[in-house]
Amino acid sequence: MCGRVQYRGRSQTQLPVLQKGSNPYRWKFRWRKNLFWMEPARSKGHWSKSSRNPSGRKSPVNLTLPTLAVKREIRILQANLQHAKAASATLVRRMEQEGIDVALLQEPWRIGEKIAGLSSKQGKVLCTPRPIRPRACIIHSNRVDCTLIPVLCTDDVVTAILTLTTEEGEKRMVICSAYFPGDEAQCPPSIISDVLAFCLEKGIQLIIGCDANAHHTVWGSTNINTRGESVLNFILSEGLLISNIGNKPTFVTRARKEVLDLTLCTGKVSDNITNWHVSDEPSCSDNRHIRFDLNIFPSEIKYRNPRDTNWIGFRMSLSRYLDGNTEQIKGVEALNSTVERVSEAIVAAYHENCPEKTKKNTGSNTVWWSNGLKRLRSEVRSLFNKAKSNQDWATYRY
């Protein structure tokens, strides 16, 4: 049975008295945030004399203390709230129901210079330290560690470092929420280049959730405009990847449907972004919610190296599988059946004599990258720099 005792004027739950010989021990609960453990009661006069441990020996009870579970994935939501109170309320409710860890938001609802409608109960709201007309912010739950980078923040761009706890230790990643104003000539803003330079200098991967206000068929828009070409050229020149999948509209009104919202990332983190999709859940905004997960732990890749094949055993296995298959082939059906049987025999013999190996997909190796693509990329960058210097875009395009 558990009793209740007074400790410095407060009531605490106390475990049963455990005795070994004549030495009684008392244990009490401790908790802080999500961490919960038990420890012996300190003998500093706060407890009765009988609860002390005069011998000073350690407790005879060996307890394995629980620790915080390491998250295997970070749930991320991206949305433009269009300064709407209803859209903010819908977002907060969805974060509660689905356990969203990070939300990259554009055009949040605000009252004057302050962002409103995003309850602190859901976590912490990150925005530029000196807001005038904030059009970007990041909200994260208490389950993740996120730190603002003030020098890389403006009213339209908010940048933070996301610290991830993995089995290999702590890893850091930069997340960025950006709004590209449609009435500004420069797209994207120059501060995005500063964010990329920071990540390159620190060797940190980057995820950008942005409302680009730009059209291009590469990410599923119905047409191409000047802003779309500018954004695409920036993406190619900086080596970013577009995580958008399909051409499902992210902006839907009665008059038109368009893909305006982009999820960009650096190469090594692209394989860790999974389940990217445009949500069908009501957003109370013209912009739909975008949902994706960030897998913290690299996936395992199983493969076989043909160089490790035991070819003598392969021939023996293949002969065993094909033994007795000497009938004549008459007709198309018999030919197809024979081809299928021989193919299965070859694969089975290969699997028997070539060991399967496993490696972690850390994203550091891009299997499709080749010297030819490297050469073409250098040519494209050279043409882009040349066109940018003399404004000869026709040579760059064709």
Stronger pLDDT, 360 or 166, i.e. the higher one? 166
Q: What is the average pLDDT value for the chain, to the nearest integer?
A: 77
Burial-class residue 370 by CB neighbours within 10 Å (0-12, 13-18, 19+).
exposed
Pick the CATH number of 73-298 from 1.10.3110.10, 3.60.10.10, 3.40.50.2300, 3.40.50.970: 3.60.10.10
Is 45 a residue whose pLDDT tops 80? Answer: no
- Read off the pLDDT of each residue in 60-69 and give the average, rounded to a whole number: 37
Neighbours of 143 (CB within 10 A): 16
| Of 100, 92, 98, 35, the residue nearest 74 (C-alpha) | 100
More confident residue, 77 or 60: 77
Residues in the chain: 398
Read off the tokens for 36: 């919960």
| pLDDT at position 138 | 92
pLDDT digits (tens, 9 = 90+) for 263-315: 999 888 888 888 999 998 888 888 899 999 998 765 566 788 888 999 999 99
- Residue 73 in contact with residue 295, Cβ under 8 Å? yes
pLDDT in tens, 89-113: 888 888 888 889 999 999 988 888 7
Partners of 106 in the beta sheet?
Answer: 80, 136
Backbone dihedral angles phi then psi of residue 380, each to the nearest 5 degrees:
-65, -45
Res. 394 pLDDT band, cuts 50 70 90: low
64 pLDDT band (50/70/90 cuts)? very low
Coil, strand or helix: which one is 121? helix
Q: Which residue has the higher pLDDT, 76 or 51?
A: 76
pTM above 0.95, yes or no: no
Neighbour-count burial of 87, counting CB atoms closer than 10 A to its CB (0-12 exposed, 13-18 middle, 19+ buried):
buried
* Distance, CA of 356 to CA of 122 (rounded, Å): 45
Q: What is the mean pLDDT of residues 306-334?
A: 85
Section 163-180 average pLDDT:
85
The predicted pLDDT at position 392 comes to 64
Rounded CA-CA distance 163/173 in Å is 6
* Over residues 193-206, mean pLDDT: 91
Sheet of strand 145-148: strand arrangement: 145-148, 157-166, 169-179, 205-211, 261-265, 241-242
Residue 368 confidence class, pLDDT cut points 50, 70, 90: low
Q: State how far Cα 372 lies from the chain centre.
A: 30
- For residue 300, the model assigns a pLDDT of 64
Nearest to 291 by CA among 143, 74, 78: 78
Share of the chain above pLDDT 70, in %: 73
Q: Greater confidence, 299 or 228?
A: 228
pLDDT at 48 over 70: no
Greatest CA separation for the chain: 98
